[in-house]
């Protein structure tokens, strides 16, 4: 009877396979941490944008134009410093010396200025519900702009979503007796802004820096005129108001950095779902903190638009999983 060598029964572990498994585990751990960090950044960005009404409400005694001028004036130096720290100076020069890119950024500058001004005005005048409505319908506006301007084709669920959103706006218009111009201006200005920004080869930080740089001379000139004519509030209403106006710069730049960090780490489909955090928080603030009336016409309009978002989210999720859409 032969005895079997115990050492021969169990093969020696392959060092290469072990190293590969360890490397895979390290990579998986790294990706998990990056995904978690991306979620944190997204929650911080969209959460801060969602509670922006608290900040602008505190400046309700300041004209929307002056708040916008301070936002640009204090945001530009901070963004420029961040661009230099991240070594994006060449990207700035390249964008400014490329005619097509510069012309497109001039258009996005005008659009973001209109968007910021109307949003500040809506909060100051107690119309936060209208602004939240605008950002709720913004995804459907993006889809509609893609169809009209880029000849994109839509699946049937997304067509239904756009129709429901349009029905919500039409219902509100007929019941209230006037177009919800704040909602539509915010939705279309930001929709066109996003569309044009996709056409230029610049990142979020570089693009916003150039936009604030282009607005900077006008903002400083307006503030100088307001100061000389006695219309400026800065340095006239007390330290708290002055501090709030100075904070306009970091409050503009920091959420953008959080959003950029999230965009680098999360799929676009995830960001698409998380973007509804901001208008949802605005809606809750408007109704439960600032007491804006949610009468029947508004409730029906929001119901139709929330139904549109549900259909839109379902269609987006299905398409992101690679399932073919229904008949186009």
Which residue would you say has higher pLDDT here, 198 or 217?
217
In this prediction the pTM is 0.81
Model confidence pLDDT, tens digit, residues 168-178: 888 888 887 77
Question: Does the structure show a pLDDT above 80 at 270?
Answer: no
Pick from 3-17, 34-48, 143-157, 260-274 the range whose average pLDDT is largest: 34-48
- Banded model confidence at residue 182, pLDDT cuts 50, 70, 90: very high
Q: What is the pLDDT of residue 14?
A: 63
Task: Please name which of 150, 144, 171 lies closest in space to residue 299, comparing C-alpha atoms.
Answer: 171
Question: Does the structure show a pLDDT above 80 at 325?
Answer: no
Question: Does the structure show a pLDDT above 90 at 156?
Answer: no
What is the rounded average pLDDT of the residues 232-257?
86
Q: What is the pLDDT of residue 222?
A: 95
Q: How far is CA 100 from CA 148, 216, 320, in A?
A: 22, 21, 32
* For the chain, domain boundaries: 38-320
- Assign residue 213 a region: left if phi > 0, alpha if psi is -120 to 50, beta otherwise? alpha
Whole-angstrom distance, CA of residue 119 vs CA of residue 141: 17
Model confidence pLDDT, tens digit, residues 72-109: 999 999 999 989 988 888 999 999 999 999 999 999 99
């Amino acid at each position: 009877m032969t005895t079997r060598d115990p050492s021969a029964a169990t093969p020696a572990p392959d060092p290469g396979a072990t190293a590969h498994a360890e490397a895979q585990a390290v990579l998986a751990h790294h990706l998990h941490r990056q995904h978690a960090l991306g979620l944190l950044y997204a929650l911080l960005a969209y959460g801060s944008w969602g509670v922006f009404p608290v900040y602008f409400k505190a400046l309700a005694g300041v004209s929307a134009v002056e708040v916008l001028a301070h936002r640009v004036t204090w945001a530009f130096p901070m963004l420029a410093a961040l661009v230099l720290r991240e070594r994006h100076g060449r990207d700035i020069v390249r964008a400014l010396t490329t005619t097509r890119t510069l012309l497109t950024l001039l258009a996005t500058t005008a659009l973001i200025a209109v968007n910021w001004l109307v949003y500040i005005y809506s909060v100051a005048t107690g119309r936060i519900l209208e602004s939240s409505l605008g950002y709720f319908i913004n995804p459907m506006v993006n889809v509609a702009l893609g169809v009209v301007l880029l000849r994109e084709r839509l699946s049937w669920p997304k067509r239904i979503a756009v129709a429901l959103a349009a029905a919500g706006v039409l219902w509100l218009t007929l019941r209230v007796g006037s177009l919800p111009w704040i909602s539509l201006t915010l939705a279309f200005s930001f929709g066109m802004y996003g569309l044009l920004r996709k056409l230029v080869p610049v990142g979020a930080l570089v693009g916003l820096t150039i936009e604030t740089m282009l607005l900077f001379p006008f903002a400083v000139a307006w503030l100088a005129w307001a100061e000389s004519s006695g219309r400026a509030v800065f340095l006239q209403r007390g330290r708290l108001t002055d501090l709030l106006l100075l904070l306009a710069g970091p409050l503009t730049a920091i959420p953008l950095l959080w959003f950029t960090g999230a965009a680098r780490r999360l799929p676009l489909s995830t960001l698409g779902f998380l973007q509804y955090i901001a208008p949802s928080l605005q809606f809750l603030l408007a109704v439960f903190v600032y007491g804006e009336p949610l009468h029947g016409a508004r409730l029906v309009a929001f119901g139709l638009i929330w139904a549109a978002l549900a259909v839109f989210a379902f269609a987006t999720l299905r398409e992101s999983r690679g399932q073919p859409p229904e008949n186009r």
